[in-house]
């Protein structure tokens, strides 16, 4: 029986078994709304000590239950801006008035939400309805997490479905099942300054070739152009390929999922797109929204960008943050390809109803309400009323775009949006979504890395040619735009074409084999297993075995303590040490043992743990014969080697400096120790801004001023500089701890040694070399050991510098430049949900750390510490 057939099993039995309801706390989780009520503030009439004690019940109060709640739907909203949350709350209030059904709106931050939803499904705690990204419905639906709307609501769905633009629905359909509906849409658009274009005599670009011409004309006049979308994201692939009518990923005539990188039309699209992005000026993720508009409103050719590409929804933010250019700019749809049937790329959000929901009818009612014309109008108006964050969201409801709806668009609140409505109305029919494939997100990451490499190689070719011509990159680009360097321009372009061909060759095979593997794994995992779910759910898995073992062990220990007289006399002692012993057994020994077992199995966490399939040392074999792990290990070692020696050396120098008798010790130490107590996540946020914040950050400004670089470097978008950025941040953050350790060591060196040396006429350097350094040996060994162990577990700075939670998952630097070992474990385990493999990685890391520690302890002993 195939997986699809099982998903069709009537009665939605899968949800019950599939996402096993957690034991113990399960009952309490049914009313999460009460868990989330804010804890009451500590009452002021209590004495201070009692108030402290209150913290415990307060915490527990977070999880308590309250009875007698009205029918409440849980609704998780993925919100880009906070106001969106308010919007949903207002809609919910309205809905409650109409139907008596309460909707509790909970925010799920933008980014990483696919992981969050999958985790919630795995844990059996999903909401009733959720807002997610456009790929979400099928991603959750194919593992049985969300309802097939066609099966669940056969009477209403046909009519409801027909209300949406039809080209959108394939994006939510998998093997004939409709797993979600569009929520709000946006697309890419071109914004240009009419005054500048008129002055330079440039035609507003409607096709790709006109767009290329416009770029050249602008560059020849000294202007830049800007784009608010990362060129190296897999999403950008849509941007390149859709105008040409070729998807980069889809099904061949035999209904096999394939990547189409070997398709010449796609390669041409990729070439065009990448040359806009990478053979001209820089672009990076941070050049979006407010910053782009700030540059858009300028006139000075050196800094202004009179042409910018961004999501259409920023239209309404421009007049609010840049009223001075009203009437001097316009919007155009994303250009069409010169040939081929174009379709429009779409971004946005979708709604899903989770299978676990106990009130699917009410949930469906809520969805219908949200997609009613009235609610849609309210959403449009609300989105337009957000000041600097005003957005124009494209409604996926056809009724709003039909002539009967004209009245709405003529209302006074819409006056400022007439033009964007007109432009969107031209393209809304062609809004389309790609048909989803299994393994799409993993392949997406592979292609992401490949795009990063292409961008890097294009930039390299450009830099090389510019160097040869003795110019900065920007001068060189301008000179090409003026038509002075035809030959060089062709060279650079053919280098890019060549790179695309070889990347396509390198990537197609592995990508297709991932798609094949995922299709096979799907039928295997969800085919065989779904039949036996009831039986599996009740059967033993490794954790329950271990839990019982630990309980047994604890029972035996208790029995021994109680029954053996020698022990019973010490009952109190055993009670005192019980908390750490139980804690360690349950939360360290059990998981560590389970991890060892898991690393020998293949396991998808949305299924019961008993479905983990024994594969023996297969994971270790494939990991050790593949490249991924060693590449990660190499990056980790590089990071440790780049960071540790520099950090220790600088810390040593500063400690010696601080050890001098200076006045104002307290202040000096405060300055030198302050990085240590700051959270590394916040510190990373500061460093991101320093590396490529406003106008490429202070780092660029400094290096340009000093003449080290001729062109701006987008540090965090550059494979070669990314890890260096992480290292600098880590050195800065870890410096204080090292200094403190050294200072403690310095104070233990007897002062008489220095005096004696001074009497002997030794200078400060010789004293440092012969007294200080040997005296600090234990500290140094300690710092190397601890530093190594920490360095091998680096995660936060890489996560943050990679951009944090991206919309399509986490990215650890361009071309995975920062994917060290823990990021690899995180990605495998909690984004791809391949628990077995992640556990195997974790055990390999453990082994490495173990060996490292043993080696260091031995060196330590030999050094006589």
Partner 1 sequence: MRTTRQTFTVYFLLTVFGIVLILPFYYMVITSFKSTTEVTRIPISLFLMEPELTSYRVLLSESLFPRAAWNSFLIASALTLGNMFLCPLAGYAFAKHRFPGRDAIFIALLATMMIPGSVLLVPGFLLFRDFGWLNTWLPLIIPGLVGVFGVFLSRQFISEIPTDLIDAARIDGCSELAIYRNVILPLSKSLLATLAIFTFLSAWNSFISPLIFLLDEEKFTLPLFISLLQGRFRGKENVQMAGAVLSILPVLIVFFFFQRQIVRSLAGTGLKE
Residues 108-127 that bind partner 1 (CB under 8 A): 108-111, 116, 119-120, 122-125
Q: Does 326 bind partner 1 (CB under 8 A)?
A: no
User: Is the Cβ–Cβ distance between 308 and 287 less than 8 Å?
Assistant: no
Which is closer to partner 1, CB of 209 or CB of 679? 679
Q: Which residues contact 30 (CB under 8 A, 6 or more apart)?
A: none
Nearest to 474, CA basis, from 709, 191, 233, 204 = 709
Q: Does 579 bind partner 1 (CB under 8 A)?
A: yes
CA atoms within 13 A on the CB side of 588: 6
Q: Whole-number minimum distance, CB 4 to partner 1, in Å?
A: 27
Which is closer to partner 1, CB of 466 or CB of 791? 791
User: Is the Cβ–Cβ distance between 740 and 673 less than 8 Å?
Assistant: yes
Q: Around Cβ 755, how many Cβ atoms within 10 Å?
A: 10
Which residues in the 69-98 window bind partner 1 by CB under 8 A?
Answer: 76, 80-83
Which residues in the 123-152 window bind partner 1 by CB under 8 A?
Answer: 123-125
Q: Whole-number minimum distance, CB 780 to partner 1, in Å?
A: 12
Which is closer to partner 1, CB of 303 or CB of 502? 303
Kindly list the distances between the CA atom of residue 796 and the CA atoms of 113, 632, 685, 734, 828, in Å, as whole numbers in the listed order: 18, 16, 11, 13, 16
Which is closer to partner 1, CB of 125 or CB of 443? 125
State the alpha helices, DSSP H only, in 532-589: 533-538, 542-563, 565-568, 571-584
Q: Does 236 bind partner 1 (CB under 8 A)?
A: no
- Distance, in Å, from the CA atom of 639 to the CA atom of 725, rounded to the nearest integer, reads 10
Q: Does 646 bind partner 1 (CB under 8 A)?
A: no
State the residue for tokens 């700051």. Answer: 678
Which is closer to partner 1, CB of 251 or CB of 614? 614
Q: Does 186 bind partner 1 (CB under 8 A)?
A: no
Q: Does 785 bind partner 1 (CB under 8 A)?
A: no
Interface residue with partner 1 among 164, 165, 364, 843 (CB under 8 A) is 843
Which residues in the 35-54 window bind partner 1 by CB under 8 A?
Answer: 35-36, 38-39, 52
- Distance, in Å, from the CA atom of 864 to the CA atom of 370, rounded to the nearest integer, reads 72
Q: Whole-number minimum distance, CB 38 to partner 1, in Å?
A: 7
Q: Whole-number minimum distance, CB 366 to partner 1, in Å?
A: 18
Stretch that binds partner 1, among 10-18, 199-207, 327-335, 665-673 (CB under 8 A): 665-673
Q: Does 288 bind partner 1 (CB under 8 A)?
A: yes
The token pair that represents 268 in the structure block? 């041409």
Q: Does 556 bind partner 1 (CB under 8 A)?
A: no
Interface residue with partner 1 among 677, 708, 862, 864 (CB under 8 A) is 677
Interface residue with partner 1 among 2, 162, 326, 679 (CB under 8 A) is 679
Nearest to 163, CA basis, from 450, 300, 451, 367 = 367
Q: Whole-number minimum distance, CB 477 to partner 1, in Å?
A: 19
CA quadruple 787, 790, 794, 795: dihedral sign: negative
Nearest to 613, CA basis, from 536, 544, 547 = 536
Q: Which residues contact 643 (CB under 8 A, 6 or more apart)?
A: 727, 730, 731, 734, 787, 791
Q: Sketch the per residue contact string, 745 through 784, with partner 1: x for CB under 8 A, - otherwise.
A: ----------------------------------x--x--
Interface residue with partner 1 among 190, 683, 726, 791 (CB under 8 A) is 683
Kindly list the distances between the CA atom of residue 205 and the CA atoms of 192, 276, 328, 480, 664, in Å, as whole numbers in the listed order: 9, 13, 16, 20, 64
Q: Whole-number minimum distance, CB 858 to partner 1, in Å?
A: 15
Q: Which helix (H) or strand (E) holds 613?
A: strand 613-614
Q: Whole-number minimum distance, CB 384 to partner 1, in Å?
A: 17
Q: Does 469 bind partner 1 (CB under 8 A)?
A: no
Q: Does 215 bind partner 1 (CB under 8 A)?
A: no
State the alpha helices, DSSP H only, in 707-718: none
- Distance, in Å, from the CA atom of 27 to the CA atom of 569, rounded to the nearest integer, reads 41
CA quadruple 28, 34, 38, 41: dihedral sign: negative
Q: Does 549 bind partner 1 (CB under 8 A)?
A: no
The token pair that represents 177 in the structure block? 């099942």
Which is closer to partner 1, CB of 297 or CB of 336? 297
Q: Does 251 bind partner 1 (CB under 8 A)?
A: no
Q: Does 286 bind partner 1 (CB under 8 A)?
A: yes
Stretch that binds partner 1, among 231-239, 501-509, 530-538, 594-602 (CB under 8 A): 594-602
Q: Whole-number minimum distance, CB 11 to partner 1, in Å?
A: 25
Q: Does 644 bind partner 1 (CB under 8 A)?
A: no
Interface residue with partner 1 among 152, 292, 383, 512 (CB under 8 A) is 292
Which is closer to partner 1, CB of 201 or CB of 765? 765
Which residues in the 715-734 window bind partner 1 by CB under 8 A?
Answer: 732
Which is closer to partner 1, CB of 329 or CB of 431? 329
Q: Does 804 bind partner 1 (CB under 8 A)?
A: yes
State the residue for tokens 């959270």. Answer: 679
Which residues in the 404-423 window bind partner 1 by CB under 8 A?
Answer: none
Residue 188 has phi, psi (to 5 degrees) of -85, 145
- Distance, in Å, from the CA atom of 124 to the CA atom of 305, rounded to the nearest integer, reads 49
Interface residue with partner 1 among 554, 628, 638, 740 (CB under 8 A) is 740
Q: Does 378 bind partner 1 (CB under 8 A)?
A: no
Kindly list the distances between the CA atom of residue 658 and the CA atoms of 125, 361, 669, 754, in Å, as whole numbers in the listed order: 53, 69, 8, 17
Q: Which residues contact 850 (CB under 8 A, 6 or more apart)?
A: none
Which is closer to partner 1, CB of 255 or CB of 302? 302
- Distance, in Å, from the CA atom of 562 to the CA atom of 565, rounded to the nearest integer, reads 7
Q: Whole-number minimum distance, CB 699 to partner 1, in Å?
A: 11
State the residue for tokens 């997406």. Answer: 444
Q: Does 681 bind partner 1 (CB under 8 A)?
A: yes
User: Is the Cβ–Cβ distance between 177 and 148 less than 8 Å?
Assistant: yes
Which residues in the 436-465 window bind partner 1 by CB under 8 A?
Answer: none
Q: Does 694 bind partner 1 (CB under 8 A)?
A: yes
Q: Does 64 bind partner 1 (CB under 8 A)?
A: no
Stretch that binds partner 1, among 18-26, 90-98, 478-486, 487-495 (CB under 8 A): 18-26
SS3 720: helix
CA atoms within 13 A on the CB side of 813: 25
Q: Does 61 bind partner 1 (CB under 8 A)?
A: no
Interface residue with partner 1 among 307, 735, 780, 817 (CB under 8 A) is 735
- Distance, in Å, from the CA atom of 497 to the CA atom of 445, rounded to the nearest integer, reads 22
Q: Does 23 bind partner 1 (CB under 8 A)?
A: yes
Stretch that binds partner 1, among 217-225, 244-252, 494-502, 804-812 (CB under 8 A): 804-812
Which residues in the 808-837 window bind partner 1 by CB under 8 A?
Answer: 821-822, 825-826, 829-830, 835
Radius of gyration of the chain (CA): 31
Q: Does 360 bind partner 1 (CB under 8 A)?
A: no
The token pair that represents 682 in the structure block? 């916040």
Nearest to 222, CA basis, from 475, 490, 488, 484 = 475
Which is closer to partner 1, CB of 18 or CB of 174? 18
Q: Whole-number minimum distance, CB 526 to partner 1, in Å?
A: 19
Total binding residues for partner 1 by CB under 8 A?
151
Kindly list the distances between the CA atom of residue 153 and the CA atoms of 358, 363, 368, 800, in Å, as whole numbers in the listed order: 15, 11, 12, 43
Q: Does 170 bind partner 1 (CB under 8 A)?
A: no
Q: What is the DSSP letter of 609?
A: G
State the alpha helices, DSSP H only, in 224-316: 234-241, 264-278, 290-296
Q: Does 480 bind partner 1 (CB under 8 A)?
A: no
């Amino acid at each position: 029986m195939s997986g699809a057939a099982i998903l069709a099993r009537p009665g939605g039995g899968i949800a019950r078994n599939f996402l096993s309801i957690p034991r113990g706390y399960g009952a309490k989780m049914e009313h999460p709304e009460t868990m989330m009520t804010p804890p009451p503030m500590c009452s002021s009439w209590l004495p201070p000590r009692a108030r402290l004690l209150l913290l415990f019940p307060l915490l527990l109060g977070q999880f308590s239950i309250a009875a007698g709640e009205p029918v409440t739907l849980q609704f998780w909203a993925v919100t880009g801006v906070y106001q969106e949350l308010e919007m949903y709350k207002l809609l919910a209030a309205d809905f409650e008035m109409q139907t008596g059904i309460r909707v509790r709106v909970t925010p799920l931050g933008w980014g990483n939400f696919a992981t969050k939803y999958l985790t919630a499904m795995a844990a059996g705690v999903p909401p009733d309805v959720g807002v997610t990204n456009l790929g979400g419905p099928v991603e959750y639906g194919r593992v049985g997490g969300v309802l097939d709307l066609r099966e669940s609501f056969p009477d209403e769905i046909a009519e409801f479905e027909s209300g949406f633009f039809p080209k959108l629905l394939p994006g939510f359909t998998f093997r004939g099942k409709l797993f979600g509906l569009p929520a709000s849409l946006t697309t890419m658009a071109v914004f240009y300054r009419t005054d500048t274009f008129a002055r330079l005599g440039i035609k507003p670009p409607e096709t790709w070739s006109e767009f290329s011409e416009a770029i050249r004309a602008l560059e020849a006049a000294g202007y830049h152009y800007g784009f608010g979308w990362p060129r190296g994201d897999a999403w950008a692939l849509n941007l390149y390929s859709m105008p040409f009518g070729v998807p980069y990923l889809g099904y061949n005539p035999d209904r096999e999922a394939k990547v189409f990188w070997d398709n010449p039309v796609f390669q041409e699209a990729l070439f065009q797109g990448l040359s806009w992005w990478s053979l001209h000026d820089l672009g990076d993720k941070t050049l979006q929204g407010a910053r782009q508009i700030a540059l858009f409103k300028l006139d000075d050719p050196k800094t202004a960008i009179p042409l910018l590409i961004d999501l259409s929804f920023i239209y309404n933010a421009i007049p609010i943050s840049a009223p001075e250019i009203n009437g001097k700019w316009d919007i155009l749809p994303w250009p069409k390809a010169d040939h081929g049937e174009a379709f429009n790329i779409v971004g946005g959000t979708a709604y899903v109803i989770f299978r676990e929901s106990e009130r699917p009818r009410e949930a469906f009612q809520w969805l219908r309400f949200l997609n009613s014309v009235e609610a849609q109008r309210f959403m449009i108006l609300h989105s337009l009323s957000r000041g600097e964050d005003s957005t124009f969201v494209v409604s996926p409801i056809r009724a709003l775009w039909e002539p009967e709806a004209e009245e709405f668009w003529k209302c006074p609140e819409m006056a400022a949006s007439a033009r964007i409505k007109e432009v969107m109305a031209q393209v809304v029919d062609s809004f389309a979504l790609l048909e989803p494939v299994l393994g799409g997100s993993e392949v997406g990451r592979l292609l992401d890395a490949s795009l990063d490499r292409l961008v890097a190689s294009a930039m390299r070719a450009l830099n090389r040619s510019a160097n040869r011509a003795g110019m900065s990159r920007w001068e060189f680009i301008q000179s090409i735009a003026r038509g002075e360097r035809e030959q060089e321009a062709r060279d650079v372009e053919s280098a890019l074409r060549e790179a695309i061909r070889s990347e396509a060759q390198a990537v197609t095979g592995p990508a297709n084999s991932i798609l094949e593997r995922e299709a096979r794994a799907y039928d295997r995992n969800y085919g065989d297993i779904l039949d036996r779910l009831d039986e599996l759910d009740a059967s033993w898995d490794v954790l329950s075995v271990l839990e019982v073992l630990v309980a047994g062990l604890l029972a035996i220990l208790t029995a021994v303590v109680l029954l053996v007289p020698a022990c019973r006399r010490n009952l109190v002692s055993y009670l005192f040490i019980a908390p750490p012993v139980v804690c360690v057994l349950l939360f360290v020994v059990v998981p560590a043992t389970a991890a060892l077992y898991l690393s020998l199995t293949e396991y998808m966490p949305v299924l019961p743990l008993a479905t983990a399939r024994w594969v023996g040392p297969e994971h270790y074999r494939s990991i050790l014969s593949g490249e991924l792990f060693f590449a990660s290990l190499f990056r980790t070692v590089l990071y440790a080697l780049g960071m540790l020696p520099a950090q220790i050396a600088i810390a040593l120098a500063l400690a010696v400096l601080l050890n001098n008798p200076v006045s104002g010790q307290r202040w000096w130490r405060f300055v030198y120790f302050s990085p240590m107590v700051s959270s590394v996540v916040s510190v990373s946020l500061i460093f991101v801004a320093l590396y490529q914040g406003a106008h490429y950050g202070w780092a660029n400004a400094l290096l340009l001023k000093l003449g080290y670089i001729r062109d701006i470097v987008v540090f965090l978008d550059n494979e070669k500089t990314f890890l260096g950025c992480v290292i600098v941040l880590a050195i800065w953050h870890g410096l204080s701890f090292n200094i403190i350790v050294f200072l403690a060591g310095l104070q233990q060196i007897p002062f008489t040694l220095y005096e004696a040396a001074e009497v002997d006429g030794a200078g400060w350097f010789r004293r440092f070399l012969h007294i200080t350094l040997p005296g600090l040996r234990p500290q140094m060994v300690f710092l190397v050991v601890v530093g190594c162990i920490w360095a091998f577990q680096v995660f936060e700075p890489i996560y943050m510098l990679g951009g944090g939670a991206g919309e399509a998952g986490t990215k650890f630097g361009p071309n995975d430049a920062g994917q060290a070992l823990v990021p690899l474990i995180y990605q495998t385990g909690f984004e791809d949900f391949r628990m077995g493999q992640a556990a195997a990685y974790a055990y390999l890391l453990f082994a490495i750390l173990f060996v490292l520690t043993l080696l260091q302890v031995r060196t330590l002993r030999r050094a006589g510490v």
